[in-house]
Amino acid sequence: MTSGQRYRFGSRNQARRSSRSMRQDMTNRRAFLLFGAASLVVSAGAARAQSATARASAFVNATGNKLVNVINSPGSPQERRQALAQIIDATVDVDGVAQFCLGRYWHQATPQQRQEYLAVFRDVLASSIGVRLGEYQGVRFTLGRAVPQGEDVKVDTTIVRPNNPPTNVQWVIGNAASDPRIVDMIAEGTSMRLTQRSDYASFLARNNQNIDALISAIRQQVQHNRASG
């Protein structure tokens, strides 16, 4: 092999090594960029989760204090119910919870039935939340940890009522990152909306799926609660 041939052969080897080195560098850069992009996505997701969790905790703390202040107020039962209803309208996804509790029967209901059902459901909801927090003066609560769960955030609280053991209540907050709303309350492991849904389904099964009968029964329950309260 002549010197010229050795030079050309060496040049080709060097060119191939340079090409492999360049491809390796490009692969490393792409991997670095992909890793960086993935890290940014993960970091952004974690930041959003932290933001939603913090917002849900602050929301529950503020809402819980408002509810407890109403329950502990010296007003009449009627005044407390009205005040509770205002807080619930501002903090609870009433329509969403109402539809969930009615289940598949919501789609079977007429527009008039839906309107009547939503009207009485608000009163039932106020009563249910009042029961879980305590209906007597001297109620207080402490805020616990908040944990993301799917699209919702669960916030732990402990409710302390006079002459009763402490009650653990979880507040399930939907849309926590932008417009927090209460979608459920779980007292000692019992879900408010699941219990209500089961009760309504059982009633409708016993009454030929008569939605008007359910609305009438809910209305009677509300009137009974008002008379006894």
Q: Where are the domains of the chain?
A: 40-228
Q: pLDDT per residue over 176-202, tens digit each?
A: 888 999 999 998 899 989 999 999 999
Query: HSE (CB half, 13 Å, CA atoms) of 3?
Result: 0
State the burial class of residue 221 (Cβ atoms within 10 Å of its Cβ: 0-12, 13-18, 19+).
middle
pTM for the structure as a whole: 0.73
User: Regarding predicted confidence, which is higher, 16 or 50?
Assistant: 50
Give phi and psi for 149, each to the nearest 5.
-140, 100
CATH number of the structural domain 40-228:
3.10.450.710
pLDDT digit string, tens, across residues 197-222: 999 999 999 999 999 999 999 998 87
Q: Can you give the pLDDT at residue 58?
A: 95
pLDDT reported for residue 34: 46
| Residue 48: pLDDT band with limits 50, 70, 90 | low
